A = this chain, B = another copy of it.
Amino acid sequence: IETRPDAGRERRKGAPEVIFGETKETAQIIAMAHGLLAGTGRAIISRLRTDSLEEVKAAFQGYTVRTRDAARAMVIYGPEFVPNNTGGHVGVISAGTSDIPVAEEAAVIVEEMGCRVTCIYDVGVAGLHRLVTPLRDLFADNVDAIIVAAGMDGALPSVVAGLAPVPVIGLPTSIGYGMGGKGVAALLSMLQTCAPGLSVVNIDNGVGAGITAALIANRVAQARERQSQ
């Protein structure tokens, strides 16, 4: 079966192609990973089903393989791959414990795009006192963009966007049951935010949030670099 992984995306967009593992057969995933390794020296896979994980690992035994378990993510590096370090800095915040896997998916992507990541987890609005100090530290540490992952009421991104002097990306998670559950209320609340400077991606789309935040941070970092030369 024919697939056309977009190896040129990295050069064109400054963002890597990511293989979405959930709805693909293991054989397809392996074939696409080979394609990307040949083209760019690295293959990133998200939402790897547990039944694919070991098979994919086995298929790339000669390679350096890094997994981020909570996020069900895997990165395979070819022998010549040289990680770059852009100097960008992204904050990743989660409202609850259950939002951590999606936050981690975003963090993996941000790192693979060469940024430094600071994570602050389980600081939701039910006890806002937990948020104050780590957030102040993050601002002081010259962060370029902040991702806020939240399910249920989705209130935390609005609170952070009311305070932060940088762009905030709302990342709703599918946590929550009943009416507005599975992330629906969280997403809608973020779309309806009365705080300025909050844009959103879809429910559980850690990859999308990570790419957007890293694109911002890398462009800022590039401006810093270019001038400092």
A162 surroundings in chain B (CB, below 8 A): 13, 125-128
A174 surroundings in chain B (CB, below 8 A): 178
A138 at the interface (CB under 8 A from B): no
Instruction: Please determine whether B153 and A193 come into contact, CB atoms closer than 8 angstroms.
Output: yes
Q: Which of A59-67, A74-82, A91-99 contacts B (4 or more CB under 8 A)?
A: A91-99
A6 at the interface (CB under 8 A from B): yes
Minimum CB–CB distance from A115 to chain B (whole Å) comes to: 14
- Name which of A201, A202, A221 has the most chain B CB atoms within 10 A of its CB: A202
Question: Oligomeric state, in number of copies?
Answer: 8
Known contacts A6-B126, A122-B4, A155-B125; is-contact A179 B203 (Cβ 8 Å): yes
A112 at the interface (CB under 8 A from B): no
Instruction: Please determine whether B192 and A153 come into contact, CB atoms closer than 8 angstroms.
Output: yes
Minimum CB–CB distance from A9 to chain B (whole Å) comes to: 7
Measured CA separation A221–B12 after assembly (Å)? 22
Minimum CB–CB distance from A212 to chain B (whole Å) comes to: 5
Q: Which residue of the partner chain B has the closest CB to A193?
A: B153
- Name which of A18, A208, A211 has the most chain B CB atoms within 10 A of its CB: A208
Instruction: Please determine whether B191 and A178 come into contact, CB atoms closer than 8 angstroms.
Output: yes
Instruction: Please determine whether A185 and B191 come into contact, CB atoms closer than 8 angstroms.
Output: yes
A3 surroundings in chain B (CB, below 8 A): 97, 121-122
Instruction: Please determine whether B130 and A189 come into contact, CB atoms closer than 8 angstroms.
Output: no
In order of increasing CB-CB distance, the 3 nearest A-B pairs are: A227-B227, A180-B188, A178-B203
